[in-house]
């Protein structure tokens, strides 16, 4: 199949973005307010059920309860932030949600660790027992403490493997499985809290409020991360149609199905892809589309960066696919001007290519395609065909080292003199994205005209599009 032969409907011109930006900010404020209400509920539970501070170790026990409740609430919030509830993701922005997820995760872990240390020290002081002795008493005499301890260890593993230094040294599959330990850890701690937690063991209303918080967290997770992707993929009958080699280390996977236009995916967005083969069904990897859907086909373009991406070259036509998404705000809808500059580095051309299809024909478009070597210019023939057939599209290659072709303010002004009056979309390695952000700042461009989608290497086998940044921050 030739990628240039697949047609797709043109998207309507986007609406002015200022109103959408204000609406997004308001929605973000509402979400933060609701999260604050949840935190207020947790504080209310602790205040209303507190037995006061008294006796040896009383203060430590009271502090441990505060740390445990707030830490667990933050852990639930961390999970909700990656539940990918569509209305929340569209309103707040996946980039902000993932940023909050990454910031709150370590804080919740520290508070839960403080709970473990303080409660053991407090009970040990009240019973005049050593720390190790009290630990043994908890494990041998208190029900559900051993599973809770196992959950805490799993949470530590998830936290350590999420540390950037550790993540870069791990295969994506290993990181992904250990990250799931966080969910298991929260589940293991649940019965310990309900049966032994002083607020819940003696106050029915507090127990039901706590159960409600768990339901609000885990029901959307199961629905939007598992049930709906499976249902949607079956409904659209998603299957691998063909695998096309674009270069020595890059392939395109064409996915076929029924009424794919109803997926409502826009150029620049990505899905979590699960190919249902014997050795891949349990793995979900994020890949951006490189051609959005018409009624029957869509396409992703993937570079060989490890075991999973390399193995996609051997996936057979007819293999069933589960797609979770679409996600991301790196779309033509976010543009604020009537001129666009698209900048891509390497396989970052994939989402940039799909955005090009969603731009109205009258919009002037400059494309700067950055690669170290000529063979890195994937989809080159396709891009040149578009440039020849569509007036207003100018395609330029920057092939060589960063020293030869620095993407800075001077370069952008030289190649695109009216760059300040354009929206800039950048996708590629972090270094390229940061260079363009800095150039935009030097050029004093409005932040809402700068959009980027960086992919960072979590391991040798994984790059994840860390979602569209709506502006330079």
User: pLDDT tens across 106-164, in order?
Assistant: 899 999 999 999 999 999 999 999 999 999 999 999 988 888 888 888 888 877 777 76
Residue range 86-108: mean pLDDT, rounded: 81
Tokens 């390497």 belong to which residue? 346
Residue 464's pLDDT is what?
Answer: 35
Start-end ranges of CATH 2.40.30.10 in the chain? 3-8+234-327
How confident is the model over 212-255, as pLDDT tens digits?
999 999 999 999 999 999 999 999 999 999 999 998 889 999 99
Residue range 93-105: mean pLDDT, rounded: 81
Token readout for 126 is 């009240």
Residue 144's pLDDT is what?
Answer: 86
Q: How far, in Å, are 374, 411, 413, 441 from residue 403 at the CA level?
A: 16, 12, 17, 21
Alpha carbon of residue 200 to chain centroid: 34
At residue 332's C-alpha, the angle toward residues 322 and 33, to 5°, is 75
pLDDT at 294 over 90: no
Superfamily of domain 3-8+234-327 in the CATH hierarchy: Translation factors (2.40.30.10)
**pLDDT mean across residues, the chain:** 84
pLDDT at 300 over 60: yes
At residue 323's C-alpha, the angle toward residues 289 and 251, to 5°, is 45
At residue 406's C-alpha, the angle toward residues 403 and 409, to 5°, is 150
Residue range 75-83: mean pLDDT, rounded: 90
pLDDT at 35 over 80: yes
State the pLDDT confidence band at 167, using cuts at 50, 70 and 90: low
Residue 6's pLDDT is what?
Answer: 35
Least confident range of 149-153, 307-311, 379-383? 307-311
pLDDT at 462 over 60: no
Q: For residues 330 and 39, give the distance between their C-alpha atoms in angstroms, rounded to a whole number.
A: 32
Share of the chain above pLDDT 70, in %: 85
Least confident range of 185-194, 345-354, 413-422? 185-194
Residue 119's pLDDT is what?
Answer: 93
CB 471 within 8 A of CB 294: no
pLDDT at 195 over 90: no
Residue 453's pLDDT is what?
Answer: 81
Residue range 286-314: mean pLDDT, rounded: 83
CB 412 within 8 A of CB 343: no
How confident is the model over 420-457, as pLDDT tens digits?
999 999 999 888 999 999 999 999 999 999 998 865 43
Residue range 286-311: mean pLDDT, rounded: 82
Residue 131 CB coordination number (10 Å): 12
pLDDT at 371 over 50: yes
Q: How far, in Å, are 423, 424, 438, 440, 472 from residue 447 at the CA level?
A: 10, 10, 11, 8, 5
| pTM for this prediction | 0.77
Share of the chain above pLDDT 90, in %: 51
pLDDT at 279 over 90: no
């Amino acid at each position: 199949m030739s990628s240039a032969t697949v047609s797709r409907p043109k998207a309507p011109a986007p609406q002015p973005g200022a109103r959408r930006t204000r609406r997004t900010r308001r929605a973000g404020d509402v979400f933060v307010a609701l999260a604050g209400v949840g935190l207020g509920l947790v504080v209310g539970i602790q205040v209303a059920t507190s037995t006061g501070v008294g006796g040896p170790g009383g203060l430590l026990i009271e502090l441990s309860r505060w740390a445990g409740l707030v830490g667990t609430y933050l852990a639930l919030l961390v999970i909700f932030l990656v539940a990918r509830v569509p209305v929340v993701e569209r309103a707040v922005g996946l980039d902000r949600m993932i940023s909050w997820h990454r910031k709150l995760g370590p804080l919740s872990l520290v508070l839960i660790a403080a709970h473990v240390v303080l409660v053991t020290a407090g009970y040990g002081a009240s019973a005049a027992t050593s720390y190790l002795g009290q630990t043994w008493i908890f494990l041998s005499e208190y029900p559900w403490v051993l599973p809770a301890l196992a959950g805490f260890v799993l949470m530590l593993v998830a936290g350590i493997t999420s540390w950037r230094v550790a993540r870069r040294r791990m295969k994506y599959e290993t990181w992904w499985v250990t990250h799931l330990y966080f969910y298991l850890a929260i589940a293991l701690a649940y019965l310990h809290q309900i049966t032994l937690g002083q607020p819940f063991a003696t106050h029915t209303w507090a127990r039901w409020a706590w159960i409600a918080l768990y339901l609000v967290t885990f029901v959307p997770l199961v629905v939007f991360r598992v049930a709906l992707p499976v249902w949607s993929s079956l409904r659209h009958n998603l299957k691998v149609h063909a695998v096309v080699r674009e270069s020595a280390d890059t392939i395109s996977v064409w996915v076929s199905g029924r009424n794919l236009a109803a997926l409502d995916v826009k150029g620049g967005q990505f899905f979590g892809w699960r190919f249902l083969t014997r050795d891949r069904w349990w793995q979900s990897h994020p890949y951006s589309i490189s051609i959005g859907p018409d009624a029957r086909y869509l396409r992703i373009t993937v570079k060989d960066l490890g075991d999973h991406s390399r193995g996609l070259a051997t996936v057979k036509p007819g293999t069933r696919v589960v797609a979770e998404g679409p996600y991301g705000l790196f779309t033509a809808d976010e543009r604020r001007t009537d001129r666009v500059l698209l900048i891509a580095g390497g396989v970052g051309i994939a989402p940039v290519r799909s955005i090009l299809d969603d731009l109205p024909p009258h919009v002037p478009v400059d494309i700067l395609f950055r690669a170290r070597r000529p063979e890195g210019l994937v989809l080159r023939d396709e891009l040149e065909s578009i440039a020849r057939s569509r007036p207003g599209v100018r395609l330029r290659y920057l092939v060589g080292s960063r020293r030869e072709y620095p993407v800075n303010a001077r370069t952008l002004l030289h190649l695109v003199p009216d760059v300040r009056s354009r929206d800039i979309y950048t996708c590629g390695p972090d270094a390229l994205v940061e260079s363009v952000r800095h150039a935009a700042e030097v050029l004093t461009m409005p932040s809402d005209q700068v959009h980027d989608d960086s992919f960072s290497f979590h391991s040798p086998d994984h790059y994840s599009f860390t979602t569209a940044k709506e502006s330079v921050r």
